[in-house]
A = this chain, B = another copy of it.
């Protein structure tokens, strides 16, 4: 079912999302999700992670298939470079979250997207992780995301799309605000 006044088609089912918003506002317990991954150490700094199931809408859910990821450190850290580095996974998460949001907001605003590409870069002074200077953080000093967007819209409307995506992005929130992490050994 498409909105009759909506001619843009970015492949996002906004009607379903609006219906979900309505349904979940009446049944907030169904809005509790638990996202998961499993990680297995291989050798050195190389690990293999899988993403398969999650919890939401009141029950266990499964992805259509199991997604698998190798992570490692690069050769300049005397490692084998068997996969992207952990921090690059965070960058992929942030860029893909903002990009999905741009498509969804564009659909909602009846803006036809033709192409959306982003480059994302995070600065890191590795004196932090190496323990050289306690005043230098382990993570990124800052992150810059640069979009190129070809869309049937004025530049200011494209800017507004990106701003709204940031406002609703889960990963943008995770990176820009603190989250409590508990680590236990069983």
Contacts and interface: CB of A to CB of B under 8 A. Distances in A.
B131 A32 contact: no
Nearest to A33: B124
Given A92-B89, A143-B180, A124 B171 contact: no
Interface residues of A, number: 123
With most chain B CB atoms within 10 A of its CB, the pick from A20, A121, A126 is A126
**At the interface, is chain A mostly helix, strand, loop or mixed?**
mixed
A143 B12 contact: no
Contact of A35 (B72, B122, B145, B184): B122
Contacts of A146: 184-186
Contact of A130 (B21, B38, B73, B147): B21
Contact of A78 (B20, B123, B172, B183): B20
Given A127-B28, A129-B168, A131-B21, A37 B88 contact: yes
A158 B185 contact: yes
Contacts of A176: 178-181
A173 to B, nearest CB: 4
Contact of A37 (B31, B76, B79, B92): B92
A126 B78 contact: no
A90 to B, nearest CB: 4
A94 B99 contact: no
Given A87-B170, A89-B93, A129-B170, 19 more contacts: A20-B78, A21-B131, A32-B126, A40-B118, A47-B95, A69-B69, A69-B84, A71-B96, A71-B100, A83-B96, A87-B171, A89-B171, A137-B173, A138-B170, A142-B182, A144-B184, A172-B181, A175-B175, A178-B178
